[in-house]
Amino acid sequence: MRMLALVTDGFGATGGIAQYNRDLARALAQSGAVESMVIVPRFGAPDQQLPAGVTQLAALGDRFRWSAAATRIALSRRFDGIFCGHLFAAPLAAALAALIRKPLWLQLHGIEAWPKPAGFIRRAAARASLITSVSRHTRAAALRWCDIDPARLRVLPNTVDPRFAPGAPPRALRRGLALEGRRVILTVSRLSSSERYKGHDRILAALPRILARRPDAFYLVVGDGDDRGRLEALAREKQVTQSVRFAGAVSAEELPDYYRLADAFVMPSAGEGFGIAFLEALASGLSVVAGDRDGGADALADGVLGALVDPRDDHPLIDAVVTALDRGAGDASLARRFAFANFASQVDNLVRHRL
């Protein structure tokens, strides 16, 4: 097959969707059923070698220019299928798939697919030969509004990079962050006002009571965004600034060491489609605490791989964090079910039997 991929975030972009798209491209490149793949991204610029057979066009940003470029390439080259990386692009992708008379593969990531979308988006989704969802939670939500045979809506969870593994972080990094002698609670995510469901504010609100039980606890926040100022103000309001550090954005190369600094990874989210950071934490050997109202339940195998708590209730969150700090290192082997080899095998099977 020769695939055309219409994505918001390609190689060179940041965030969980970009990582998922990169992993999918790598898996498709390994599949003997796929000859080539052309990626048309809105955002990103290849900052690394692309997989063999994969080409990425220049990012256009502007939605209308991106749509025009996608249309132009779909009609000027021969493709055997179209992958659409976001629900909101489904109308364009469905129209192009109909024009070239080839199958459409649609990807669902999370909260964009939970509420019932507009009719034109629902009709476009229903035309897909295959829809994949990162979690059972998102699949169940989509089946409530999408008029499609449930067998065509499959779960394809995230995978985890093998760079995330247990190990000692550089001593200079621990000293530089003033973490010597502290038990570290870590959250890794964007600090976006549109993604407050991640739960940073819930941890900050609970931190005085966590410190009352574990005075050596320290909250390390990795990530940046437009909500950082509000969260820093909340830390001051709760009088916990001596036990909190906002580390800002961290490069992909440095990120594994930040996980190795921590004792527990905590993100009591209420809106995660899946949460690749949970997998990175598990693979790094951390005890993990997640919310029980979103796709994080899939990442933690319904509580087998970590603790699931009601993100709206402080008491179980505090208990779970203290327990995780006391437990210390988790079993990194538990993340093997999300190894790339398993992900690539699932992708190959879908391409061969569902498109």
- Whole-number pLDDT of residue 8: 95
Average pLDDT over residues 289-301: 89
Query: Most distant CA pair in the chain: distance in Å?
Result: 65
- Whole-number pLDDT of residue 299: 87
pLDDT, tens digit (0-9, with 9 covering 90-100), for 164-207: 999 988 899 999 999 999 999 999 999 999 999 999 999 999 99
Q: How far is CA 295 from CA 40, 86, 276, 299, 302, in A?
A: 27, 17, 10, 7, 10
Domain ranges for the chain, please list them: 2-159+339-354, 171-337
Locate 344 and state its tokens: 């690539």
Comparing C-alpha atoms, which of 4, 7, 156, 152 is closest to residue 81?
Answer: 4
Residue 332 confidence (pLDDT) above 80: no
- Single-letter amino acid, residue 79: F
Comparing C-alpha atoms, which of 277, 351, 354, 300 is closest to residue 24?
Answer: 351
The partner residues of 264 in beta bridges, in order of sequence, read 185, 287
Locate 50 and state its tokens: 């692309």
Locate 307 and state its tokens: 């603790």
Q: How far apart are CA 207 and CA 313, in angstroms?
A: 14
Strands, DSSP E only, in the chain? 2-9, 36-43, 54-56, 81-84, 104-108, 130-133, 153-155, 183-188, 217-222, 244-248, 264-267, 287-291, 307-309
Q: How far apart are CA 215 and CA 182, in angstroms?
A: 9
Average pLDDT over residues 335-346: 90
Same fold, 2-159+339-354 and 171-337: yes
pLDDT, tens digit (0-9, with 9 covering 90-100), for 202-226: 999 999 999 999 999 999 999 999 9
pLDDT, tens digit (0-9, with 9 covering 90-100), for 84-99: 999 999 999 999 999 9
Average pLDDT over residues 59-71: 94
Residue 142 confidence (pLDDT) above 70: yes
Residue 248 confidence (pLDDT) above 80: yes
- Whole-number pLDDT of residue 334: 67
What is the DSSP pairing of strand 153-155 with strand 130-133?
Answer: parallel
Computed over its alpha carbons, how large is the radius of gyration of the chain?
21
In our burial notation (b when 16+ CB lie closer than 10 A, e otherwise), range 213-249 reads ebeebbbbbbbebebbeebbebbeebebeebbbbbee
- Single-letter amino acid, residue 187: T
Is 2-159+339-354 CATH 3.40.190.10? no
User: For all residues of the chain together, what is the average pLDDT?
Assistant: 93
Average pLDDT over residues 245-261: 94
Is the Cα dihedral 271, 276, 282, 286 positive or negative? negative
Residue 5 confidence (pLDDT) above 80: yes
Residue with tokens 């210390």, as numbered in its chain? 328
**Pair 167, 260: CB distance under 8 Å:** yes
Give 166: exposed, middle or buried? Use CB within 10 Å, 0-12, 13-18, 19+: middle
Residue 47 confidence (pLDDT) above 70: no
Q: Higher confidence at residue 111 or residue 332? A: 111
Cα first-last separation, the chain: 10
Lowest-pLDDT range, 75-79, 131-135, 297-301? Answer: 297-301
Q: What is the pTM of this model?
A: 0.88
Residue 143 confidence (pLDDT) above 70: yes
Residues in the chain: 355
Q: How far apart are CA 180 and CA 216, in angstroms?
A: 10
* Reported confidence tier of residue 129, pLDDT bands at 50, 70, 90: very high
- Whole-number pLDDT of residue 261: 94
- Whole-number pLDDT of residue 312: 87
CATH topology of domain 171-337: Rossmann fold (3.40.50)
